[in-house]
Each structure stands twice: as structure tokens, then as C-alpha cells.
Structure 1
Amino acid sequence: MMAVSVGCLLPAGFLPPLPNDKLLHFGAFAVLTALAVQLAPAWQQQRYWLGGLLLAGLAIEVGQKFVPGRNFCWRDMAANAAGIASTAGAASLIRAF
């Protein structure tokens, strides 16, 4: 989570040109969700982890509002949520089989 936060909160001038920012958001939160699913084996616990990841994504987006060259973007938040939802869904399908 620390690496994702730092990468998302660096000023725009420190970053190389990004091919697709939304894909990076999706991938980062998909990986974080995969780790959270492994840390919390029971679905009741996973809900809290996944909710925490969603709130962390929101906090990062709000924090970007105060970073030079960065801004709050609902599409980034949607990419974060899609990464969380798709990985959590895939994990529950894998566990069902």
C-alpha cells in the first residue's frame, strides 16, 4: 500500500510518461486486493479489508488534489473500484471451485 500511495502522490514532473493511468490504477488495486484476500481468509473479514482499500483509494485521490500537477479524478476512483471488485469476484469464484 505504501508503494501505491507514494506512486500516486508524486508530483507529475517526477513520473515518466504513463501509457494508461487508469490501467495502472486498476492493476495496483487488483494486486492489493489479491493480497488482502490472502490475508483475510473469511469473507466477513475480507469485507473490511476491501472496504478499507476502497477508502484508501479515495484518500489517495483526495490527496492528489494537493499535489502539483495532479488532481482528483472520479475515473481513477472507478478504476480503483474495478480492480478491487474484479479481483475479489475472481477470488470468490476460485474458492467456490
Structure 2
Amino acid sequence: MAWIYLIMSGAFEVVAVTGINQIVKHKNLKSYLIVLFGFIVSFSLLALAMKELPMGISYAVWTGIGTVGVTLLGMLFYREPKDWRPIVFIGMILIAVVGLKMTT
């Protein structure tokens, strides 16, 4: 169950960061509420996951999901450049997270 919490936590981090992007564009209450909701849920789920998983792997996976998720959302929905270099680095993040999991 801890891994499910961790994955969901990373997904809600993506929600929160997307809300930050909306704040930059619109500065309305809805955008602020999305950020607040996203981070509250994300940190709460991260805390639940860390009851069973080590802090290092939890944080690495959480930030990895957030980084990969926000980068892909930016490319797919916010017209950010679709260059091959970010894809390579996303792959490196995924390899690093798998490596951490295999060694802990």
C-alpha cells in the first residue's frame, strides 16, 4: 500500500505544480486552491508512504514522479519544446529510481 501512496503523492505533486503554472497565468482563487489542495494531498500521502518506505527512496521517487510528470505535461499541453534531451534525462531519472529501489 505504501507504494500506491507514494505514486499518488507524486501525481498530486504534479497537480500542485500545474496549479503554480496557472497562478503565473491567471492569479485567480481557483489556481491558488489547486496548489493548496495538490500539496496538502501530496505531502499527506508522502507521509503515509514514509511510514513503511525509507526516506531516501520515498523522496527520490516522489521528486522523480513530479519531475517526469511536469515535464511531460509541459510538452504535451503547454507547448514546451519537445526536444530529445529532456526525454534522455527523464530516462536517466527513471533508471536512477529503479537503481535506488534495487539497492534498498
Larger RCO: 1 or 2 (CA < 8 Å, sep 6+): 1
Same fold by TM (over 0.5)?
no
Band the TM-score falls in, shorter-chain normalisation: 0.3 to 0.5
TM (norm. structure 2) is: 0.38
TM-score for both structures, normalised by structure 1: 0.40
